[in-house]
Amino acid sequence: MNNLNDSKLIISCTTDGFISNEPDMDLKAVDPKNIFSFLYYNTRLKLTGVGSLLEKKYTEEKGLISWRTRGQLGLSGGIKALTGYQRHELIEETIDKVIKSFNGSKQIAFIQMSLRSAKEIYLKGGHLTLILNERLFNLKFDNRREITDCKGTYHLTKPFIHCLNSTQNRLISGFGSGRYRKYSPISKTQCKGDAYLALTRRMIVRLLRDSELIQIKLTRLDILKILKEIGLKGSLNFISKQKGKLPIFNSIPSTEKTLVCLKKLKNIFPFFKPEILLRN
């Protein structure tokens, strides 16, 4: 990697692989003088019988979006290194979300669905139920390397000279998250009783608070009245807590109860399209 010339790039490097625009790297011969590569080559040969140092996994033909160490997205869909955002959706949808977030908050809000762990059930009792988590997938540059130059649509980086420089930049990248974050996600909600309706209520309130989305400005009392009309409980305090939080589209599971609420909301606002909130 260190011997690549200026026209070749190591785009990303993780534990078990890396992305580069150097052609035929898997065909390069091992230099016996390089003790680490030579030991790795011999070990792999003994274990697998394959006499090569590197193995090509995939070739991206269209292009690549890369913004951090573990954040790469191939335009063809073969490379999808999105640690923390594993969603079953079309590659075109993911690309669209990533590009839009770059031009906005640099975050993608989504609902993560998982099951209670065996340890939690053992310690606290109960059943194997679903857990809903509101998550924010962060697309900000992680400042693990120093930006040196801009080459058109991308930037070149190099390792930091001193650990203090790295610590300072990592601290800067921490702003906008944790206690500095404006839009903090809600904690996990177990599917006990009407947890799907609780999620529906949050998304509807956030939608109604966004005057640009519904094309009308509503007060907290107006929203509380609407909640009661569609059969959902609420309070002025709950509505206030949703201020500044954006609705997560395609997040609500399609169940009998959630569909009834969204249908009633459409009766109040004929231009409202329930499918923008329903999970695909």
DSSP string computed for the chain: -TT--TT--EEEE-SS-EEE--TTGGGPPP-TT-HHHHHHHHHHHHHH----S-------SS-EEEEETTEEEETTSS-EEETT----S-HHHHHHHHHHHHTTTSEEEEEEEEE--HHHHHHH-----EEEEEEEEE-S---SSEEEEEETTEEEEE--SSHHHHHHHHHHHHTTSGGG-SSPPPPPEE-SSSHHHHHHHHHHHHHHH-HHHHTS---HHHHHHHHHHTT----HHHHHHTTTPPP-TT-B---HHHHHHHHHHHHHSTT--GGGTB--
If asked whether residues 210 and 148 sit together in one domain, one would say no
267 pLDDT above the threshold of 50:
yes
Q: Which domain holds residue 218?
A: 194-276
- Exposed, middle or buried, 207 (CB in 10 Å: 0-12/13-18/19+)? buried
Average pLDDT, the chain: 83
> What pLDDT sits at residue 204?
94
Least confident of 67-76, 87-96, 162-171, 172-181: 172-181
> 77 and 165: one domain?
yes
- Looking at the domain assignment, is residue 4 inside a domain? no
pLDDT at 12 over 60: yes
Last residue of a domain, one of 156, 180, 204: 180
**pLDDT tens for residues 55-100?**
888 889 898 888 887 888 999 988 888 888 877 888 898 999 998 8
Confidence of residue 185 (pLDDT cuts 50, 70, 90): very low
Mean pLDDT over 202-213 rounds to 87
Does the structure show a pLDDT above 50 at 182?
no
Q: Count the domains in the chain.
A: 2
- The verdict on 70 and 149 lying in the same domain is yes
Distance of alpha carbon 247 from alpha carbon 155, whole angstroms: 33
How many angstroms separate the CA atoms of 274 and 249, rounded? 10
Show the tokens assigned to 79: 């490379």
* Residue 47 contacts residue 66 (beta carbons within 8 Å): no
Token code pair at residue 165: 């420089």
pLDDT at position 13 is: 80
**How high is the pLDDT of residue 2?**
65
117 and 222 share a domain? no
- 151 & 221 share domain: no
d(CA 16, CA 37): 14
Q: Check residue 131 and give its pLDDT.
A: 81
Q: What is residue 181's predicted lDDT score, i.e. its pLDDT?
A: 43
At 6 the pLDDT is 63
| Residue 36 resides in a domain | no
Whether residue 26 lies inside any domain: the answer is: no
Residues 200 and 138 in one domain: no
The answer to whether position 239 is within a domain reads yes
Over the stretch 227-241, which tens digit does the pLDDT of each residue have? 999 999 989 999 999
- Band of pLDDT at residue 113, cut at 50, 70 and 90: confident
In a domain, 56, yes or no: no
Examine residue 45 and state whether it is found in any structural domain, yes or no. Answer: no
